[in-house]
């Protein structure tokens, strides 16, 4: 039986090379867009376990035992919604799994440490779908802005609405990823490091072409930051910048608050409402399974009412 591990035993006695550090190995295995969030989660866990004395890189993860993970779960259950808590606990489990693979932790200790149930939460759906009028209002406020910002933001909103891309995927797009003939966008290393091809609706292609006419045809990021005075920088937007752009345009358009991810929910819902099979929607959205796609369905009661009217007696 393993001895009880005290708080002081959780601190690394000396720096560990990143190649054999469980947290570093785990963070290097996930998509770039998830690293900051998961690193923050691990920092929170390390701080809680050591009363603020350790972060993700100075905690000795291999020394964690069930009493530690159970305590973290209890705190998270009180502090966070179920989805956030379970995501953070998943990061904890993944780090401990790397500790086993690196021969830093016994498999039996790992099995005990991760033997806790998921946190259950209310089944309330997150986010919402945007109406056609709301999307039109967002595009219109961009078109009224005749500066390069307006042209770029119209392209951003059009792409989000027309493809359902995640904001990190949008920010990572290169000029070479857009093929005007056919309205093709190549998404490289999306979530799970998976590539996929998506297609722009015909009326969206013109917004992207308008932006490229302003941006120029130099290789590099498709969607770029714009400095005061209209100077376009040749680098990628940060995903957080996409969030700020969408919120700014929503305020200007008088549209109820929403997130860039709600474009993704709208994309899935509208395709399903149009009769597109769920497997095709899954592939376009880059989901791992149709079950995930189904969770993005935000069609209301009217859709169910219409479906029932298709029955006859």
Catalytic residue among 21, 161, 215, 264: 264
Q: Is 166 a catalytic residue?
A: yes
Contact (Cβ atoms closer than 8 angstroms) between residue 38 and residue 91: yes
What DSSP string describes 266-290? Answer: HHHHHHHHTT--HHHHHHHHT-SSH
Asked if 59 and 12 count as a contact pair (C-beta separation under 8 A), the reply is yes
Query: Cα separation of 242 and 248, whole Å?
Result: 10
* Burial class of 228 by CB neighbour count within 10 A (0 to 12, 13 to 18, 19+): exposed
Catalytic residue, chosen from 191, 196, 283, 299, is 191
The two tokens of residue 120 are 């259950």
Catalytic annotation, pick one of 11, 188, 261, 299: 261
Q: Which of 63, 152, 166, 215 is catalytic?
A: 166
Specify whether 261 is catalytic. Answer: yes
> Is 287 one of the catalytic residues?
yes
Catalytic annotation present for 66: no
| Active-site annotation holder among 63, 65, 249, 287 | 287
- Residue 223 in contact with residue 171, Cβ under 8 Å? yes
CA atoms within 13 A on the CB side of 244: 8
Which active-site residues does the annotation give? 166, 191, 261, 264, 287, 296
């Amino acid at each position: 039986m393993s001895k009880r591990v005290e708080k002081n035993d959780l601190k690394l006695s000396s720096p560990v090379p990143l190649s054999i550090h469980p947290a570093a190995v785990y963070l290097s295995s996930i998509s770039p867009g998830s690293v900051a969030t998961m690193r923050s989660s691990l920092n929170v866990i390390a701080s809680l376990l050591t009363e603020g004395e350790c972060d993700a890189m100075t905690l000795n993860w291999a020394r964690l035992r069930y009493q530690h993970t159970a305590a973290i779960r209890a705190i998270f259950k009180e502090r966070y919604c179920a989805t956030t808590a379970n995501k953070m606990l998943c990061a904890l489990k993944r780090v401990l799994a790397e500790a086993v693979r690196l021969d830093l932790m016994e498999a039996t200790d790992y099995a005990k440490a991760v033997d806790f149930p998921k946190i259950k939460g209310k089944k309330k759906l997150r986010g919402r779908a945007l109406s056609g009028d709301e999307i039109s209002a967002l595009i219109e406020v961009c078109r009224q802005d005749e500066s390069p910002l307006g042209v770029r933001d119209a392209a951003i909103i059009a792409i989000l609405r027309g493809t359902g891309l995640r904001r990190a995927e949008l920010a990572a797009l290169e000029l070479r990823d857009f093929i005007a003939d056919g309205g093709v966008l190549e998404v490289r290393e999306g979530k799970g490091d998976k590539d996929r091809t998506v297609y722009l609706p015909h009326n969206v292609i013109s917004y992207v072409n308008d932006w490229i006419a302003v941006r120029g045809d130099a290789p590099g990021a498709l969607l770029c930051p714009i400095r005061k005075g209209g100077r376009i920088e040749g680098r990628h937007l940060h995903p957080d910048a996409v969030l700020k752009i969408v919120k700014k345009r929503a305020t200007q358009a008088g549209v109820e608050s929403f997130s860039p991810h709600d474009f993704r929910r709208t994309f899935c819902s509208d395709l399903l409402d149009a009769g597109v099979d769920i497997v095709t929607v899954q592939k376009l959205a880059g989901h791992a399974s149709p079950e995930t796609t189904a969770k993005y369905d935000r069609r209301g009661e009217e859709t169910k009412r219409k479906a029932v009217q298709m029955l006859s007696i």
